[in-house]
Amino acid sequence: MTMSQDQLHRYLFEEYEVRGELVQLDQTFRHIVDAQSYPLQVQALLGELLVATSLLVATLKFEGSITVQLQGDGPVKLAVINGDHNQHLRGVARVEGELPAEADIHSLIGNGQLIITITPEQGERYQGIIALSEPTLAGCLEAYFAQSEQLPTRLWIRTGMQDGEPKAAGIMVQALPAQSEDHEADFDHLVQLTNTIKDEELFTLPAEEVLYRLYNQDKVRLFEPQPVAFHCTCSRERCQNALLQVGKEEALDIVREHGQIDMHCDYCGSHYLFDGVDVESLFKVVPANDTNQLH
Ligand SMILES: [Zn+2]
Split at pLDDT 50, 70, 90, the class of 52 is: very high
pLDDT value at residue 7: 97
Q: What is the average per-residue pLDDT within 243-264?
A: 94
Tens of pLDDT, residues 114-153: 999 999 999 999 999 999 999 999 999 999 998 887 889 9
Taking residues 219-229, what's their average pLDDT?
Answer: 96
Per-residue confidence (pLDDT) for residue 1, from 0 to 100: 41
259-270 pLDDT, tens digit each: 999 999 989 889
Question: What confidence score (pLDDT) does residue 97 get?
Answer: 86
Q: What is the pLDDT of residue 2?
A: 43
**pLDDT tens-digit map of 169-195:** 999 999 998 766 667 888 999 999 999
Whether residue 293 is predicted with pLDDT greater than 60 in this model: the reply is: no
SS in 3 state form for 77-118?
Answer: EEEEEEEECCCEEEEEEEECCCCCCCCCHHHHHCCEEEEEEE
Using the mean position of ligand 1's atoms as its centre, give its distance from the Cα of residue 76 in Å.
Answer: 21
Residue type, 167: K
Rounded to the nearest angstrom, the distance between the alpha carbon of 242 and the centre of ligand 1 is 14
pLDDT at 239 over 70: yes
Confidence check: pLDDT of 235 > 50: yes
Pairing of strands 229-230, 88-95: parallel
- Separation of 215 CA from ligand 1 center, angstroms? 40
The domains found in the chain, sorted by start residue, are: 7-230 (3.55.30.10), 236-294 (3.90.1280.10)
Q: Is the backbone of residue 87 left (phi > 0), alpha (psi -120 to 50) or beta?
A: left
Among residues 22, 115, 38, the alpha carbon closest in space to that of 269 is found at 38
Residue 108 half-sphere exposure toward CB, CA atoms < 13 A: 25
Tell me the residue length of the chain. 295
Average pLDDT over residues 69-83: 97
Question: pLDDT at position 128, please?
Answer: 93
Distance 295 CA to ligand 1 centre (A): 21
Note the pLDDT of residue 295.
46
- DSSP annotation of 132 reads -
- What single letter denotes the amino acid at residue 179? Q
Distance from the alpha carbon of residue 204 to the mean position of ligand 1, in angstroms: 29
Average pLDDT value over all residues in the chain: 91
Q: What does the alpha-carbon distance between residue 274 and residue 10 come to, in Å, rounded to a whole number?
A: 45
For ligand 1, the distance from its centroid to the CA atom of residue 83, given in whole angstroms, is: 14
Q: What percent of the chain has pLDDT over 90?
A: 81
Report which of 197, 205, 217, 53 is spatially closest to residue 138, judged by C-alpha positions: 53
Q: How far is the CA of 198 from the centre of ligand 1 (A)?
A: 34
Q: How far is the CA of 235 from the centre of ligand 1 (A)?
A: 7
pLDDT in tens, 193-205: 999 999 999 999 9
* Centroid of ligand 1 to alpha carbon of 272 (angstroms): 10
**How many Å lie between the centroid of ligand 1 and the Cα of residue 237?**
12
Distance (angstroms) between ligand 1 centre and the Cα of 20 equals: 32
120: enclosing H helix or E strand: strand 112-120
What residues does the ion ligand 1 have nearby, CB within 5 Å?
232, 234, 265, 267-268, 270
